[in-house]
Amino acid sequence: MLFRVRTSLTAGAAILATASSAAAAGGETARAPVTGSRLTLAHVAEGGPATEVSLTCDPDGGRHPKPAQACAELARVGADPAKLKPADRYCFLLYQPVTARLSGVWRGRAVKWAHQYGNNCEMNRATGVLFDF
List, for residues 71-106, the tens digit of each pLDDT value: 999 999 999 999 999 999 999 999 999 999 999 999
Long-range contacts of 61-69 (CB under 8 A, 24+ apart): 64/133, 65/132, 65/133, 66/129, 66/132, 69/128, 69/129
Mean pLDDT of the residues in the chain: 84
Q: Pick the closest to residue 43 from 55, 35, 51 (CA basis).
A: 51
Residue 11 has pLDDT above 90, yes or no: no
For the whole model, what pTM was predicted?
A: 0.71
CA 86 to chain centre: 20
Q: Hey, what amino acid is at 49?
A: P
